[in-house]
Amino acid sequence: MSPMWSFIDCFKSQILMAAANAGQIDHAHPGPIDDLVLTLQPNHRSEAIWNGQDSVSLTCRARSEEFSNREPMVDDRVVDIIKALGLEGLLRIPGREIDHGFITALVERWRPETHTFHMPHGEITITLQDVEVLLGLPVDGDAVTGSTQKTWEAVCVEFLGFQPVNDEHKQLNGQRILIKRLLEEVADPLPLNAEEDQLHKYARCYILALLGDTIFMDKSRDRVHLMWVQKLEDLRNPRRASDKKASQIGGCLLLVQYWAWARFPYLCPAVERGPPVGAYGPPVRGPLSLKWVWVPNKKNRPAHIFRDRYREKIASMLPNQVVWQPYEAELESLPPWCVAGRAVWTATVPLVCFHLVEKHTPDRVVRQFGMIQEIPRAIDTDTVLHAIDLRGKVGVDWVRKHAVHIVEWGNRLQRRCEGVLGDMPPQHEYFDWFRRVTRRFIDIPGAKLILMVTSLCLLHLTVLLSMKPMFREYDICGPMSA
């Protein structure tokens, strides 16, 4: 048989398999067929959407106006401390508007059962590699943890250099300090003759505000937790932050947005205009997120309309629209601090950050590391851990409480996943398994679109195959063999 017809027969088998599965997953059954993996589906956002209870787009916390209007830190004494802490990436991350509709469409496909996004062609997720490459934050080191058994007013005085005033605006609310109050402490330049204690308090205020404004955003919108101060206590001998600090960033929507643009470039807004005149200068070496610095911000767009468009684009995603390894050509040109932790990028371990514990699951997405994805083993992401927050917890020794998970993290180099390098063959058993366990459709319009496209593909293939007898003697690949 000629190469062309071998390809067509292979393509036909895949279309027929897809059509068979599509027949099983009709309007009444958007998936999963087997509920062994997505055990929380009844309470998932996608369930309400399918049942016509479409919730509004998420309100995404963006960088504070006070911080975005500030000039970047230029005092070398402070910058040197930030670099020594391994947090230089925070100075380089380009700020931008968060696309609420885009983030909402992605959240609809996030699965807490696996800590991955269930996309049309398999699971994909944000890993330690994405955190380090895109944000330039360190991902290897001791767990970021400690105790919240503190007298927080005393912490402010001793380490930040001011006594918070709790008037009607409450500068200190429980364990969270106003970012605006921190910025007031660094509004004026640091004196040239500043002593070490003054320098360290100045640096702590700036770094704490920077953390709260970039990677540790929370629903308070304008505050940051003071527990991070204990990681900044000894600035004479700063210890580099670990991956937990970078990877447990539920509020870091900049990371989610840059990650999605890297993995799904067709969803990234087109660059309408290049850099302004005079913007060119010596190249800035920084995290890969700088690659998208000229992508235009889309302000004042109706989030629900664009959410629906993103939802449709994701539902109709083609296999070649996923870039499984978007960083390979860039790794050698990145600063060393953007790739220093590559030894732990594939570690299947819990990530601990004070009260937070999240399972890092690269074994479910090894295609992101150039490997063939086998059917992943069952995982328990522990719903009890999901429920832990800081509300009502005035003082807890998190080192003790999460001791088991901290030990697991300590064994990270022995927990790296391995696999066979290569491209996924289209007939691999993983795809049939995934179609059965995933939530294939989010909404009914998306389901209709996919079923229609599948039917059209099958129709076009049928027409092509009906022409096969016309080419029995000769086809575009040359004389046909027996």
pLDDT, residue 71, reads 78
Task: Report, as an integer, the average pLDDT of 127-141.
Answer: 94
Residue 54 pLDDT > 60, yes or no? yes
pLDDT, residue 243, reads 29
Phi, psi (degrees; rounded to nearest 5) at 77: -65, -40
**Which residues pair with residue 119 across a beta bridge?**
122
Per domain, the residue ranges of the chain are 3-30+441-479, 65-270+286-414
Residue 22 pLDDT > 60, yes or no? no
Beta strands in 324-444 (DSSP E): 350-353, 356-359
Residue 400 pLDDT > 70, yes or no? yes
57 residue type, one letter: S
Residue 88 pLDDT > 60, yes or no? yes
d(CA 466, CA 30): 32
Lowest mean pLDDT among 187-191, 291-295, 474-478: 474-478
112 residue type, one letter: P
Residue 15 pLDDT > 60, yes or no? no
Is the Cβ–Cβ distance between 93 and 213 less than 8 Å? no
Lowest mean pLDDT among 12-26, 307-321, 382-396: 12-26
Residue 118 pLDDT > 90, yes or no? yes
pLDDT, residue 300, reads 57
Write the Ramachandran bin of 174: left for phi over 0, alpha for psi from -120 to 50, otherwise beta: left
Task: Report, as an integer, the average pLDDT of 262-281.
Answer: 75
Q: Are strands 474-475 and 478-479 parallel, antiparallel or unpaired?
A: antiparallel
pLDDT, residue 156, reads 94
Geometric angle at alpha carbon 238, from 161 and 191, rounded to 5°: 40
Lowest mean pLDDT among 174-183, 260-269, 325-334: 174-183
Residue 296 pLDDT > 90, yes or no? no
pLDDT tens digits, one per residue of 29-46: 799 999 999 999 999 999
Task: Report, as an integer, the average pLDDT of 57-68.
Answer: 67
Residue 472 pLDDT > 50, yes or no? yes
Residue 444 pLDDT > 90, yes or no? no
Residue corresponding to tokens 């929380």: 40
Residue 421 pLDDT > 90, yes or no? yes
Is the Cβ–Cβ distance between 295 and 96 less than 8 Å? yes
| Maximum separation of any 2 CA atoms in the chain, in Å | 90
d(CA 237, CA 84): 9
Lowest mean pLDDT among 52-61, 209-218, 375-384: 52-61
Q: SS3 of 338, please?
A: helix
pLDDT, residue 163, reads 93
What is the rounded average pLDDT for all residues in the chain?
A: 82
How would residue 408 be classed by pLDDT, with cut points 50, 70 and 90? very high
Q: What b/e readout covers 425-440, taking b as 16+ CB neighbours within 10 angstroms?
A: eeeeebbeebbbbbbb
Q: Kindly state the tokens that stand for 254.
A: 């900049």
DSSP secondary structure, 6-48, as one string: HHHHHHHHHHHHHHHHHHHS-TT--S-SS-SS-TTGGGSHHHH
**Which residues pair with residue 285 across a beta bridge?**
none
pLDDT, residue 247, reads 27
Residue 114 pLDDT > 90, yes or no? yes
pLDDT, residue 439, reads 94
Is the Cβ–Cβ distance between 51 and 87 less than 8 Å? no
Q: Chain centroid to CA 194: how far?
A: 40
Percentage above 90 pLDDT, the chain: 47
**Kind and range of the H or E element at 117?**
strand 116-119
Geometric angle at alpha carbon 21, from 19 and 23, rounded to 5°: 70
What percentage of the chain's residues is helix, strand, coil (to nearest 5)? 45, 5, 50
